[in-house]
Chain A
Amino acid sequence: MCGIAGIYGYHYAANPIDIAELRRIRQRMAARGPDGAGEWCSDDRRVGLMHRRLAIIDLSERGAQPMASADGKTVVTCNGEIYNYRELRRELEAKGHIFRTETDTEVLLQLYAAKGPKMVDDLRGMFAFALWDGERRGLLLARDPYGIKPLYYADDGWTLRFASQVKALLAGGKISAVPEPAGWAGFLLFGCVPEPFTIYQEIRAVPAGTTMWVDARGPAAPARYFSIPDVFSSAEGQRPARWPELQGRARAALLDSVRHHLVADVPIGAFLSSGVDSGSLLGLMRDAGQEEIHTVTLAYEDFRGRREDEAAGAALTAAGYGSMHTTRVVTEGEFRDDLPQIFDAMDQPTIDGINTWFASKAARELGLKAVVSGLGGDELFAGYPSFRDIPRWVRWAGLPSRIPFLGDVARHLIAGSRRFAPLLHPKTAGLLKYGGTYAGAYLLRRGVFMPWELGKVMDREFMAEGIRRLDPIGLTGASVGPSPRTPLAKVASFEACLYLRNQLLRDTDWASMAHSLEVRVPLVDSRLLKDIAPLVLSLPTGAGKRLLAASPSTALPDSVVDRPKTGFETPIHDWLQRDDRTQAWRRMPELASATCPWARRWAYQLAAA
């Protein structure tokens, strides 16, 4: 896991690239790769690639990047890991390819030589890479199927710049910081900035599961090579299976994913909570043959002895699987000290991620360079309440929401009555307007603010423009498309393509990379998704997690499986609301009321800052 950047002056009128700019971009990502820094520039200075290295596989200098092919015709800079690189290497060697290093990076070069841009179909991993093809004079940008690793670009019409972080691109000093209304509107609606937008007009995300080809004509439209909704759609046609068969298939698929995610030349630890996802992964790591496993759990001083405290449950799970366990206690004082660094590392505004900041900090303190996380379990195994709520709302509101203007009338009436019923959640007013469709109901479920509220908290014209450019319902619907038919497949696609991608994975990236820590997510894996989707669709809603818990050879105990979901609560919300540096929300009467959800205050705070 690393930081990558590059500049390509593709247009005939563009100036040669500015190496100093590229170094400034790379320097902003120094924490992503403390083990090395490399650069490559074409002879004609039309293209330059940069790399910051966090050495995980082949720690020698031979693994340094950017890496050129033996004939010098292709050069690659990659952030991430290709978990199946050994299989791919064997296949390529059988076809006569000769390798010079033990790295997964070289596999990318050789695979490109064999297959061209179609190579991405063969990759299993988390990656964002840029590959310069000197013969075709084109740059291939690619991002993994789920979007675990970030990749942003700015195209000014002459020159394309890309980097692993938005703030790094800006640090180069050549990109306009004009705000993108759609990015800000999206942040206030969802609590994170939905891709492909960022909060800057000139910077966009390479969408997850796509490649982008850039040649003298400029960047082509992103070409999709992997679609999560399409996987669910294919799974819908498969025959339902019985529990023993489901269990066997799930175990095999999960063990296979965990095995792949343990490929490394450094020790791999694990984040551990008291829940099913990380606990099951720990058991599977044991099954995969890893003997020494260091596990890390966060505990908060404020939660000591309370239901929300994860420490005791996690310690039990750790003891059950015999890991070397550390409980790291975070105090409000430490939070206050770290807050400026957290804001600096936060690549784009988000209402989450601080928990991961401290967990990553703790892992790095233990000397770990890479850990496994249970992220993605709720999306894959249908663990969120949204899997029940959204289909129910669509059933209830489907018919009345089709009556013209009824939704708007109801919204006005309910919003007006909140004065008399202050405990009514502000989103209730949108139930009839949005609840009738899956895209609308998803916005209701995950929304921080509702579209009609944005003009009250931010500049009205800017927000109206933002809503127009973003088209939140259209964007939400388009992320899934028409393919999945069943409610579970639809919601799972929404959760994976929006919440997981734009919030959880992105936050995990900036918060962990700030501590030079690689977080591996075996439950966020394209191959695993293909194996598990048909199984989850065979189960009643809510039963998926049992399948996961039963997968290790020593299954997780029922006490863990049946433990009520705490929703990863932390006292960070209270700390943020108490901190004198984050008090802008108090200016807004609506946000100052005692019943206001904290996420609204936090989102406003970040937007107003």
Chain B
Amino acid sequence: MLALLSDAYGSDGGIARYNRDLLTALTSSDGARRVVVLPRHGHAGPSDLPAGVWQLKPRGKLGYVPAAMRAAMRNGPFDAVFCGHLHLAPLAAIVTRLIKAPLWLQLHGQEAKGPLTRAQMWAVKQAALVTAVSRHTRQHFLRLAPIEPHRVRVLPNTVANSFMPGSAPGYLVERHGLHGKQILLTVGRLAADERGKGHDRVIRALPALAAGNPDLVYLVVGDGGDRARLEELARQAGCAGHVRFTGRVAAAELADYYRLATVFVMPSNQEGFGIVFLEAAASGLTPIGGNCDGSSDALADGVIGIAIDPESQDQLIAAIRRVLSGDRRDPAQVQRFRFDNFARHLGALVDAHLGSGPAAA
């Protein structure tokens, strides 16, 4: 299989992580044993790659098209083309025409908000399989795209085994001065151009929450262009003393940050999925998230965490108080998102839509 994608190995971020899981699962299933990856970003050495994955040098905007054509002609033959980003779909569709192979398109969320360009519309029509990270992304895409619903399937994020419950790590308590504190936690980029994760709403809720609980701290993990605005917002709300911005944290420390928290909260309205909810739940927390975007999937409609109207401050405050007072969801429920389920499902979809298995498309 030829994989045209933005990034996978040698990159950070949610999309890269998802692509790595997918490529690992692909090469461990019977559907495809060898994948040639052409990324836009990210260098990876042979030791970074699982068996069966061969990642070519990343190519920038200009060099990507000829590199994709070259890879299609020289590195094949390919049984299918995986396109890891909607923006690359027109190119991927041309490549599939060229080498007469089926096209598989992956949707992560934000990029599928639409509207679609004419070229993307055309490319989508060629796709034998579209996988969307969440039900919300799938449903939204079906409103935009000229494609039969049975060709668009849901393939959710997975949660790594490194996220598990544990006691609060002392080095982080020390680093952020959190002795004796109850901690609300949000993990995510502070993107100035999105502002969809709901940090503002949590900060605005803090005065009411902290009124009866002076030891409450809101720990904001992640960095980005919106940080200064959020810091100012906390000052204006008079709760700056209850907020700690950690900035970007090392990947190796992330699991420990979840173990610090009492409540994970991210009342977002623009999540494609929200893998952080799974990480929080796997760490033994009862996450609180929005009910109008991909978060519903990560929260399993309220079974894994609490799903609220993200615009409702009342619901947000009530949900946080409930979790602080001991309302918990069953931590075992998050196990459904483990990698082996993901890999099995992916193998079945590949067999049905792209391979030799019983036809479903």
Segment with Cβ contacts to A, from B39-47, B61-69, B137-145, B279-287: B137-145
CB of A420 closer than 8 Å to a CB of B: no
Known: A12-B345, A158-B135. A217 touches B142 (CB 8 A): no
**Could you say which of B139, B152, B348 contacts A216, with CB atoms under 8 Å apart?**
B348
Segment with Cβ contacts to A, from B6-14, B258-266, B296-304: B296-304
Structural contact, B135 and A157, CB atoms closer than 8 A: yes
CB of B250 closer than 8 Å to a CB of A: no
Please report the C-alpha to C-alpha distance between residue A201 and residue B136 in the assembled complex, in whole angstroms: 13
Give the shortest distance, in Å, between A238 (CB) and chain B (any CB): 33
Please report the C-alpha to C-alpha distance between residue A155 and residue B359 in the assembled complex, in whole angstroms: 19
**Size of chain B's interface in residues, with CB distance under 8 A?**
31
Known: A155-B149, A217-B348. A15 touches B139 (CB 8 A): no
**Could you say which of A176, A201, A218 contacts B153, with CB atoms under 8 Å apart?**
A218
Known: A156-B135, A469-B146. A13 touches B303 (CB 8 A): no
Segment with Cβ contacts to A, from B26-34, B186-194, B336-344: B336-344
As a 0/1 sequence over residues 315 to 337 of chain B, the CB contacts with chain A under 8 angstroms (1 = contact) are 00000000000000000000011
Which chain A residue has the least Cβ–Cβ distance from B121?
A468
Structural contact, A11 and B146, CB atoms closer than 8 A: no
Structural contact, B150 and A218, CB atoms closer than 8 A: yes
Please report the C-alpha to C-alpha distance between residue A15 and residue B344 in the assembled complex, in whole angstroms: 18
Structural contact, A202 and B344, CB atoms closer than 8 A: no
Q: Report A145-183 residues with CB < 8 Å from chain B CB.
A: 155-158, 176, 178
CB of B254 closer than 8 Å to a CB of A: no
Please report the C-alpha to C-alpha distance between residue A156 and residue B132 in the assembled complex, in whole angstroms: 12
Structural contact, A221 and B148, CB atoms closer than 8 A: yes
As a 0/1 sequence over residues 198 to 221 of chain A, the CB contacts with chain B under 8 angstroms (1 = contact) are 000110100000000100111111
Known: A13-B156, A204-B149, A221-B361. A157 touches B132 (CB 8 A): yes
Please report the C-alpha to C-alpha distance between residue A156 and residue B149 in the assembled complex, in whole angstroms: 10
Structural contact, B148 and A156, CB atoms closer than 8 A: no
Which chain B residue has the least Cβ–Cβ distance from A11?
B154
Please report the C-alpha to C-alpha distance between residue A13 and residue B131 in the assembled complex, in whole angstroms: 14
Please report the C-alpha to C-alpha distance between residue A128 and residue B333 in the assembled complex, in whole angstroms: 35
CB of B360 closer than 8 Å to a CB of A: yes
Structural contact, B150 and A219, CB atoms closer than 8 A: yes
Q: Label chain A's interface by main secondary structure.
A: loop
Known: A157-B153, A218-B150, A221-B361. A201 touches B139 (CB 8 A): yes
Known: A15-B303, A219-B150. A157 touches B345 (CB 8 A): no
Structural contact, B156 and A221, CB atoms closer than 8 A: no
**Could you say which of B143, B150, B156 contacts A220, with CB atoms under 8 Å apart?**
B150
Which chain A residue has the least Cβ–Cβ distance from B345?
A12
A-side contacts of B345, CB under 8 Å: 11-12, 216-217
Give the shortest distance, in Å, between B222 (CB) and chain A (any CB): 25
Which chain A residue has the least Cβ–Cβ distance from B340?
A12
**Could you say which of A157, A158, A201, A204 contacts B143, with CB atoms under 8 Å apart?**
A201
Please report the C-alpha to C-alpha distance between residue A204 and residue B360 in the assembled complex, in whole angstroms: 18
As a 0/1 sequence over residues 289 to 318 of chain B, the CB contacts with chain A under 8 angstroms (1 = contact) are 000000001001101000000000000000
Q: Report B105-148 residues with CB < 8 Å from chain A CB.
A: 132, 134-135, 138-139, 142-143, 146, 148
Structural contact, B154 and A220, CB atoms closer than 8 A: no
B-side contacts of A13, CB under 8 Å: 154, 156, 297, 300, 336-337, 341
Please report the C-alpha to C-alpha distance between residue A13 and residue B341 in the assembled complex, in whole angstroms: 9
A-side contacts of B349, CB under 8 Å: 217
CB of B352 closer than 8 Å to a CB of A: yes
Give the shortest distance, in Å, between A431 (CB) and chain B (any CB): 29
Structural contact, B361 and A220, CB atoms closer than 8 A: yes
Please report the C-alpha to C-alpha distance between residue A204 and residue B149 in the assembled complex, in whole angstroms: 10
Give the shortest distance, in Å, between B274 (CB) and chain A (any CB): 13
Please report the C-alpha to C-alpha distance between residue A135 and residue B82 in the assembled complex, in whole angstroms: 33
Q: Which of A204, A216, A218, A469 has the most CB of B within 10 A?
A: A218
As a 0/1 sequence over residues 142 to 168 of chain B, the CB contacts with chain A under 8 angstroms (1 = contact) are 110010111111101000000000000
Which chain A residue has the least Cβ–Cβ distance from B146?
A469
Which chain B residue has the least Cβ–Cβ distance from A469?
B146
**Could you say which of B139, B151, B152, B156 contacts A176, with CB atoms under 8 Å apart?**
B139
Please report the C-alpha to C-alpha distance between residue A178 and residue B348 in the assembled complex, in whole angstroms: 30
Structural contact, B344 and A12, CB atoms closer than 8 A: yes
A-side contacts of B148, CB under 8 Å: 221
Please report the C-alpha to C-alpha distance between residue A468 and residue B144 in the assembled complex, in whole angstroms: 11
Give the shortest distance, in Å, between A474 (CB) and chain B (any CB): 11
Please report the C-alpha to C-alpha distance between residue A201 and residue B345 in the assembled complex, in whole angstroms: 26
A-side contacts of B344, CB under 8 Å: 12
Which chain B residue has the least Cβ–Cβ distance from A202?
B139
B-side contacts of A218, CB under 8 Å: 150, 153-154, 360
Known: A11-B154, A15-B303, A157-B154. A220 touches B360 (CB 8 A): yes
Structural contact, A158 and B154, CB atoms closer than 8 A: yes
Please report the C-alpha to C-alpha distance between residue A469 and residue B138 in the assembled complex, in whole angstroms: 17
Give the shortest distance, in Å, between A379 (CB) and chain B (any CB): 28
Please report the C-alpha to C-alpha distance between residue A396 and residue B22 in the assembled complex, in whole angstroms: 58
As a 0/1 sequence over residues 523 to 546 of chain A, the CB contacts with chain B under 8 angstroms (1 = contact) are 000000000000000000000000
B-side contacts of A178, CB under 8 Å: 143
Give the shortest distance, in Å, between B276 (CB) and chain A (any CB): 17
Please report the C-alpha to C-alpha distance between residue A157 and residue B349 in the assembled complex, in whole angstroms: 13
A-side contacts of B152, CB under 8 Å: 157
Give the shortest distance, in Å, between A488 (CB) and chain B (any CB): 32
Give the shortest distance, in Å, between A166 (CB) and chain B (any CB): 16
Please report the C-alpha to C-alpha distance between residue A12 and residue B154 in the assembled complex, in whole angstroms: 10
Give the shortest distance, in Å, between B77 (CB) and chain A (any CB): 26
Give the shortest distance, in Å, between A259 (CB) and chain B (any CB): 39
Please report the C-alpha to C-alpha distance between residue A60 and residue B142 in the assembled complex, in whole angstroms: 46
Known: A157-B139, A176-B139, A220-B361. A15 touches B150 (CB 8 A): no
B-side contacts of A156, CB under 8 Å: 135, 138-139
Give the shortest distance, in Å, between B215 (CB) and chain A (any CB): 35
Q: Report A9-30 residues with CB < 8 Å from chain B CB.
A: 11-13, 15
Q: Which residues of B contact A (CB under 8 A)?
A: 132, 134-135, 138-139, 142-143, 146, 148-154, 156, 297, 300-301, 303, 336-337, 341, 344-345, 348-349, 352, 359-361
> Could you show 6 A-B contacts with beta carbons less than 8 Å apart?
A158-B297, A202-B139, A213-B360, A216-B348, A217-B153, A221-B150
6 A-B pairs with the lowest CB-CB distances in the bound complex, closest first: A157-B154, A220-B360, A157-B135, A12-B341, A157-B138, A221-B150
Q: Which residues of A contact B (CB under 8 A)?
A: 11-13, 15, 155-158, 176, 178, 201-202, 204, 213, 216-221, 468-469
Instruction: Known A-B contacts: A156-B139, A220-B359. Give 5 more (CB < 8 A).
Output: A12-B341, A13-B336, A156-B138, A221-B360, A221-B361
